[in-house]
Structure 1
Amino acid sequence: MKGTSHLAIGTAIGAAAAAHYPFSPKSAVLYLAVSSFSALSADLDGPSMLSSRIGKLSHTIRGLLLWSGFIATSILIYQYFSLGAVYPEYTAASLALFMLGLLTREGMIRNTLITVIGGGFIYAAFLWQMYWLGGLGLFIAIAPWLKHRGMTHTVWAVILWGMIGQGLENQLQLPGIMTVATLGYLSHLIADTLTPSGVKWLYPIYKKPFKLR
C-alpha cells in the first residue's frame, strides 16, 4: 500500500484522538504527529515516505563520490604524464573514492544515514535519561537493514512500538499517546494485510503471510 494511504489513515487516527481526549491545540498536534509517524514507521525497512529525502541525499552522495574520485584520478594522471610526478597515497585515495562510489549502492548509503540518525537518538536518550527515545533510536537504526515486510511488520514490532509509546506518554503526561502510537502502527500492518503480498504477522515463528483480499 502506498505511503500516502498509510499517512491518511494515521492522520485520521490522530484526528479521532484529538476529538476524543480533552482538546488543546498542543495535544491535537501531538496526537496527529505521533499517529502519522507511527503509521509510516513500519516501512523504514525500505524506501518510503519517511526516507525519501534521505534517499535523494544518498543519490547525491554517491554521485559526489564518483565524480570526486574521477576528477582527482584524472588530475593525478595528468600530472604523471605532464610532469612525471607520482603520488602513491593520493592515487590510492582517489581510486578508493571512485571505487566506493562505483560499488556502493544508494540503498546502502540511505540505510547508513538512517542508522546514524537512530544512533543520534540513542545518544540523546542516554544524555537526557529518556529511555523510550533510546528504544525509538534502536528501532530506527536497525529497521533499514531488515528484510522488507519482515520483522517491522509483525505483532512483536507492534508490542515494541506500544512500549515506546508508553514511554513517550509518561514523558509528556498526555493520556492516549500510547494508544495512538499503537493504533497508528497497527493500522499500517492491517492495511498491508489487504494487499496481495500480505503480512507475516508472526514472523519468524510462522513465516507464511496473512492476507485479506
Structure 2
Amino acid sequence: MKGSTHLAIGLVIGAAAAVYHQPTAVQSAAYIAAAGLSALAPDLDGTNMLSAKLSGLSRAIHRGALGGGAIAAAAAAYLYATGQTVPLLLVWVGIPLMLVLMSVSSGTIRNGLVSLVGIGLAVAGARGGDVWLIGLGAYTAWAPWLKHRGMTHTVWALLYWYWLGREAESGLDIPGLAVVGAAGYASHLVADTLTSLGVKWLYPLYRKSIKLPFF
C-alpha cells in the first residue's frame, strides 16, 4: 500500500483523537503528528515517505564519492608514473574510497543516513533524559537494515511503539498519546494485511504472512 494512503489514515486517526480529547492547539498538533508518523514508521525498513528524500542525497553522495575516489586514484597513478611523490592521502583514502564505493549501493548509503538520524535522536534523548526519544532513535537507526515487512511489521514492534508512546505521553504530559501512536502504527499493519503480500504479525514465531487481500 502506498505511503500516502498510510499517511492519510494516520492523519484521520490523529484528527479523530484531537476531536475526542478536545486539547489545546499544541496537543492537537501532537496527536496528528504522532499518528501520521506512526502510520509511516513500519516502512522505515525500506524506502518510504520518511526516508525518500534521503534517496536523492544518497545517490548524489554515491556518485560524488565514487567520482572523487576515481579522480584520486587517477592522480595517484599519474604522479607515480611520472616519478613524482604520491601523497599518502591519495593512496590511503582515495583508492580505498573508490573500491568501497564500487561495492556499496546508494541504498546502503541511504540506510546509513537514516541510521545517523536515529543516532542523533538517541543522543538528543540521552542528553535531555528523554527515554522515549532514545527509544525512537534506536528504532530509526535499526529499522533500515531489516527485511521489508519483517520485524517492523509485527505485533512485537507494535508493542514497542506503544511503550514509546507511553514514555512520550508521560514526558510530554499529553494524555492519550500512547494510544494514538499505537493506533497509527496498527493502522499500517492492518492496511498491509489487506494486500496480497500480507503481514507476518507473529514473526519469527510464525513465519507465514497473514493476509485478507482486499486491494
TM norm structure 2 = 0.94
Shift of 1:92: 4.1
The secondary structure found in structure 2 opposite 1:207 is coil
Match of 2:70 in 1: 70
Structure 2 distance, partners of 1:168, 1:177, is 7
Structure 1 distance, partners of 2:26, 2:80, is 65
Match of 2:112 in 1: 112
Shift of 1:86: 4.3
Structure 1 distance, partners of 2:198, 2:131, is 33
Determine if the alignment matches structure 1 residue 18 to structure 2 residue 27.
Answer: no
Shift of 1:15: 0.8
Deviates more, 1:154-163 or 1:100-109: 100-109
Match of 2:84 in 1: 85
Shift of 1:77: 3.0
RMSD between aligned residues: 1.3
Match of 2:135 in 1: 135
Superposition pairs for residues 1-213 of structure 1, below 5 Å?
1-81=1-81, 83-87=82-86, 89=88, 90-213=90-213
Q: Aligned residues: percent identity?
A: 45
Moved over 4 A (4+): none
Deviates more, 1:104-113 or 1:31-40: 104-113
Residue type of the alignment partner of 1:165: G
Q: Give the paired residue count.
A: 212
CA contact (8 A) 1:65 1:100 kept: no
Deviates more, 1:153-162 or 1:130-139: 130-139
TM norm structure 1 = 0.95
Shift of 1:24: 2.4
Shift of 1:114: 1.3
Residue type of the alignment partner of 1:184: G
CA contact (8 A) 2:125 2:134 kept: yes
Residue type of the alignment partner of 1:136: L
CA contact (8 A) 2:35 2:181 kept: yes
1:26-51 deviation line (CA, Å, top 9, x unaligned) = 11211111000000000011111100
Gaps of 5+ in 2: none
CA contact (8 A) 1:69 1:95 kept: yes
1:62-114 deviation line (CA, Å, top 9, x unaligned) = 11111101122222333344x42142732342211211221111121111111
The secondary structure found in structure 1 opposite 2:197 is coil
Structure 2 distance, partners of 1:127, 1:78, is 49
Shift of 1:184: 0.2
